[in-house]
Amino acid sequence: MPWGTTVERREEFVRLARQPGANVSELSRRFGVSRSNGHKWLQRYASEGLAGLADRSRRPRGSPGQTPEAMEAQVLSVRAAHPAWGGRKIGRVLEREGLVPPAVSTITEILRRHGMLNGPRAGERRDWVRFEHAAPNDLWQMDFKGHFALEAGRCHPLTVLDDHSRYSLGLEACGDEVGETVQRRLERVFRRYGLPWRMLMDNGSPWGTGGPARYTVLTVWLLDLGIGVSHGRPYHPQTQGKDERFHRTLVAEVLDGCRFRDLAQAQAAFDAWREVYNVHRPHQAIELETPAERYRMSSRSMPEIITPPDYEPEAQVRKVQDTGWFSFKGQPINCSKAFAGRHVALRATDTDGLFDLCYRSHVLAQLDLRQNIVQPVLDVPEHLSPLSPV
């Protein structure tokens, strides 16, 4: 399944390749092009700009000396193209066009005067309290947007969002919400952008079981790739607030009033809008920059082969049975069926009788032999440090 049009793929390649520290050879491999072609796109962009990537017309830039009527027409034109955008976003777009836009309040008044504001609070200033991770790829958020009907079947949009930049790494029109489908789509995302340090998701299927042994085949695969797994608090969707907000924008700008024939048509619409969202749409939460201006691809490439864990000699290693259980010091321990056939390690802590139950470098739970208790490690700190090598 293609990633948007050929021109959009070239534009994304150029954006990522021009970021500080980008590896053009590795990026060319991920995009499935030769290194010479990758450098050719960069050279054409350097000499001709976007016009060098495709034979298409570009809207001419306006002049700061335009009359008020012409400026108002520009405001209304941007709003007509993007009916969900407000004064701040429209003003930023006009700046990028080389214009000197009116004040945000003036733009809002233009929209109001022409009946182009929606809802009782449209145009009001709002206060926000936000937290974001310090760098791209520290944390990705992942979720399904509620499924909707197609003319034939249903579409389950899978969304993957970088926490720091709000860059949409994946917007996938899926026919179901099973683990195999998610893994196939994530493989494409990982090969394109590299691996994050951690991923945040809710507690439902296919990435959670809702119980203490919450790991699934999908999340164990993520651990095998060296990606930490975090789950939001049950019944607290605000834990994944950025992805939830992305869903609201997706509904407002794509899904409302649209009817798709099949998954292919839905995916084509998703690809086209994802380009707008990442590259053209100013994002209020990041000071009206676009996600593309903030995002840098990960330096961690997806491995072609996943090797078994190699634990240190002092760790006590056990193989998990098909039932999800193993034995340690004469006690049966329930890990999870998702780890069946894999080796886990028990690492002694500074407290006598207390062991960390680990898979690779990830601590799954703590085992207290004094009370015969296995306590899952559920709480993950917000400020994350890179995981140790796997």
Residue finishing a domain among 294, 324, 345? 294
1 CA to centre of own chain: 18
| Cβ atoms of 292 and 283 closer than 8 Å | no
Predicted local confidence at residue 213, as pLDDT: 56
Q: Do 282 and 187 share a structural domain?
A: yes
Kindly list the averaged pLDDT for each block of 10 residues, start to end, along the chain of length 390. Answer: 73 89 89 88 86 59 54 78 76 80 78 63 46 82 92 94 94 95 96 94 78 79 92 57 86 90 96 93 85 93 93 92 90 88 91 89 85 61 32
Distance of alpha carbon 344 from alpha carbon 364, whole angstroms: 10
- For residue 260, how many other CB atoms are within 10 A of its CB? 21
Q: Do 341 and 221 share a structural domain?
A: no
Q: What are phi and psi of 121, to 5 degrees?
A: -105, 10
Distance of alpha carbon 22 from alpha carbon 20, whole angstroms: 6
Q: Which two tokens stand for residue 154?
A: 């249903």
Residue 387 lies in a domain: no
| Cβ atoms of 328 and 343 closer than 8 Å | no
Q: Which domain holds residue 15?
A: 6-52
For 127, left (φ over 0), alpha (ψ -120 to 50), or beta? beta
Predicted local confidence at residue 203, as pLDDT: 78
Residue 17 lies in a domain: yes
Residue 232 DSSP label: P
Question: CA torsion sign, 267 to 268 to 269 to 274?
Answer: positive
Q: What is the CATH number of the domain that holds 254?
A: 3.30.420.10
Predicted local confidence at residue 241, as pLDDT: 73
Q: Do 146 and 114 share a structural domain?
A: no
The amino acid occupying position 254 is V
Distance of alpha carbon 279 from alpha carbon 291, whole angstroms: 7
| Half-sphere CA count of 15, side-chain side, radius 13 A | 21
pTM score, two decimals? 0.72
Structurally, how many domains does the chain consist of? 4
Residue 245 lies in a domain: yes
Residue finishing a domain among 127, 150, 178? 127
Q: Do 96 and 215 share a structural domain?
A: no
The amino acid occupying position 139 is L
Residue 307 lies in a domain: no
Q: Do 156 and 185 share a structural domain?
A: yes
